[in-house]
Amino acid sequence: MSAFRAALRISRRDAVRARGRTALVMVMIGLPVLVITALLTLSETTNLTVREELPSRLGSVADAAVYAHVTTLPIDQDPAGRFGSQDPDKTGQPPRWTTAEVARLIGGRAIPFYDYSTDARFQDGSDRVDLLETDLRDPLGAGLRTLAEGRLPASPQEIAVTPALLDRGVSVGGTLQLTKRAEPRRVVGVVVDPTRPGVQEVVGLYGAVVGDKHDPQGNGWLVDTPSPVTWKKVRELNQAGLRVASRAVIEGPRAANLNDVPSRTDQVLWLAIAVLLVVTETVLLAGPAFAVGLRRRRRELATIAAQGGSPAHLRAIVLADGLVLGGVAALLGTALGIGAGALAESIAARLLDWRSGPVDVPWAQVLGVAALGLLSALAAAVVPAIQAARQSPARVLANRPDEVRDRASRPLIGLVLLVLGLGAAILFSPGSELGVVAASTVVLFGLIVLMPWLVRRTAPLAGRLPLPARLSVRDAVRHRARTVSAVAAVMAATMGAVTAGMAYTSAYTAEQERNRLDAPEGTLSVTAFGVNDETWARVRAVTQERLPGAQLVPGLGVQDGDGRSLDTMIQLEQSCPGACTMFGLSYFDVPIGDARLLALLQGRGDPQAAAALAAGKAVVFDARLVVDGTVSVTVRNRTGDGTAPRTFRVPAVVARGAQPDQGGAVLPASVLTAAGFGTAERRLFLRSVPDGVDLDVERFTRELQTVTSSAYAYVAEDRTGFKLTVLLAVALAAAVVLVLGGTFAATGLAVADMRRDLDTLSAVGGRPRTRKLVVAAQAGYIAGLGAVIGLVAGAVTGSALSQSMASRWGDSPIVVPWAFLALLVLGLPLLAALLSGLFTRTRMELARRVA
In contact, 480 and 455? CB cutoff 8 Å: yes
- pLDDT score for 620: 95
Average pLDDT along the chain = 84
Minimum mean pLDDT range among 107-116, 121-130, 319-328: 121-130
How many residues in total does the chain contain? Answer: 851
| pLDDT tens track for 259-303 | 544 445 666 777 777 778 777 877 887 777 777 777 778 788 888
**Mean pLDDT of the 361-376 span:** 88
**Mean pLDDT of the 686-696 span:** 80
Query: How many C-beta atoms surround the C-beta of residue 402 within 10 A?
Result: 14
- pLDDT score for 604: 92
- pLDDT score for 490: 87
| pLDDT tens track for 383-437 | 888 888 888 888 888 777 665 455 545 688 889 999 999 999 888 887 788 888 8
Dist. CA 493–CA 488, nearest whole Å: 9
**Mean pLDDT of the 709-722 span:** 79
- pLDDT score for 265: 65
Query: How many C-beta atoms surround the C-beta of residue 410 within 10 A?
Result: 12
- pLDDT score for 262: 44
Query: How many C-beta atoms surround the C-beta of residue 53 within 10 A?
Result: 19
Rg (CA), the chain: 35
Q: How confident is the model at residue 753 (pLDDT cuts 50, 70, 90)?
A: low
Helix axes 755-763, 467-478, angle to 10 degrees: 150
- pLDDT score for 678: 92
SS3 398: coil
In degrees and rounded to multiples of 5, residue 202 shows phi and psi of: -115, 135
Task: List CB contacts of 271: < 8 A, sequence separation 6 or more.
Answer: none
- pLDDT score for 669: 94
| pLDDT tens track for 194-215 | 999 999 999 999 999 987 766 6
- pLDDT score for 231: 94
| pLDDT tens track for 490-514 | 898 889 888 888 888 887 777 777 7
Query: How many C-beta atoms surround the C-beta of residue 93 within 10 A?
Result: 9
Minimum mean pLDDT range among 48-52, 360-364, 554-558, 734-738: 734-738
- pLDDT score for 382: 86
pLDDT exceeds cutoff 50 at 577:
no
Which long-range contacts does 558-561 make (Cβ < 8 Å, 24+ apart)? 558/592, 558/635, 558/672, 558/677, 558/678, 558/679, 559/677, 559/678, 559/679, 559/680, 560/637, 560/677, 560/678, 561/676, 561/678
Helices (H), 573-696: 595-602, 607-614, 669-674
- pLDDT score for 850: 44
| pLDDT tens track for 648-680 | 999 999 999 998 888 899 999 999 999 999 999
- pLDDT score for 576: 40
Dist. CA 736–CA 734, nearest whole Å: 5
Dist. CA 240–CA 238, nearest whole Å: 5
Which DSSP symbol is given to 787?
H
397 burial type by CB count under 10 A (0-12 exposed, 13-18 middle, 19+ buried): middle
pLDDT exceeds cutoff 60 at 845:
no
Q: How confident is the model at residue 305 (pLDDT cuts 50, 70, 90)?
A: confident
Minimum mean pLDDT range among 37-46, 295-304, 742-751: 742-751
